[in-house]
Amino acid sequence: MANAHERRAILSLTAPAYLWLTVTIFLPLAAMLYCSFLDKSPLVPAPAMATLANYVAFFTRPVYRQLTWWSLELGLYVTFFSLLVGYPVAFALAKQIKGRWREALFLMVILPFWSNALVRIFSWTMVLRNGGLIDQAIHWVSPDAAPIDLLYSYPAVVIGLVHSYLPYMILTCYISLQAIDDSVVEAAASLGARSATIFSRVIFPMSLPGVIAGSALIFVPVIGSFMEPRILGGTKGVTLGMSIEEQFMVTANWPLGAALSFMMLAIVLLICAVGYPLVQRRMDGLK
């Protein structure tokens, strides 16, 4: 009887959360999945027929495979540079900076979350364009320097995305680094390990969960991004996310857009299925 009572108590506590997930996530996904197998958009008054043509188009049209590769490549670049910049910042916040300086830096880290994403992206156009802040700063130092115009280029897209998602990497790495006991580092130093060895053999492996979490939080949304590539990259920042957005907003081909969305979801799940055993094996080796 006690077990049945506990099960009912657990069900009463978790049921609202599961109901909310069903209504807000699974029902929309189910509707999108249904739409991906139609030959006409639900907006068309004519009756729609079931078809696999939308999924076949992904495999038979080289443009979608190329866009997929570009999106994955963009995700890798943004994740790498976010780790390259974010990890040292997280390490400094966790182990070196104390007091009010840490609070001030934390404020700077979370400040991008307080502004609208569209405003942040358009602000980068003022910085990266010809005659923008970077161009003016370089010409102030070297008046004879060539004009710097990074707008509508691939590096501009990477810069804008790194700026948008960098806080995720900093915060996740900070949590993992903060959890490392200083006595472990002191023990390694007392045994004669150098700073580079301590970092590579102790600190970084123990902070790997934060690195993995931050990488996942960045990589997954970046490969589906469309606003930053469209505004900062123009024709040089085309991604699969931009193509999906066009299918819904421009051509009104909802079935094809839904099919491309689920193909992207399948690719992400495949990457997670392949990467999870490798990560788990690595984590088990650290225990």
Q: What crossing angle do the helices spanning 27-36 and 254-286 adopt, rounded to 10°?
A: 120
What the chain holds in terms of domains, given with CATH numbers, is 62-286 (1.10.3720.10)
Which span out of 59-73, 113-127, 147-161, 266-280 was modeled with the highest average pLDDT?
59-73
| Over residues 187-199, mean pLDDT | 85
The β-bridge partners of 50 are: 38
Contact 252, 43 (CB under 8 A): yes
47-64 average pLDDT score = 90
Tens digit of each residue's pLDDT (9 = 90 or more) over 138-156: 878 887 777 777 888 889 9
pLDDT band at residue 67 under the 50/70/90 scheme: very high
Angle among Cα 183, 187, 192 to the nearest 5 degrees reads: 150
How far is residue 218's CA from residue 86's CA, in Å, rounded to a whole number? 12
Taking residues 22-51, what's their average pLDDT?
85
For the cut 90, the answer to whether the pLDDT of residue 111 exceeds it is: no
Determine what percent of the chain is predicted with pLDDT higher than 70.
97
Sign of CA dihedral 141, 144, 149, 153: negative
Percent of the chain topping pLDDT 90:
34
pLDDT band at 286 (very low <50, low <70, confident <90, very high): low
Decide: 109 and 171 in contact? Cβ < 8 Å.
yes
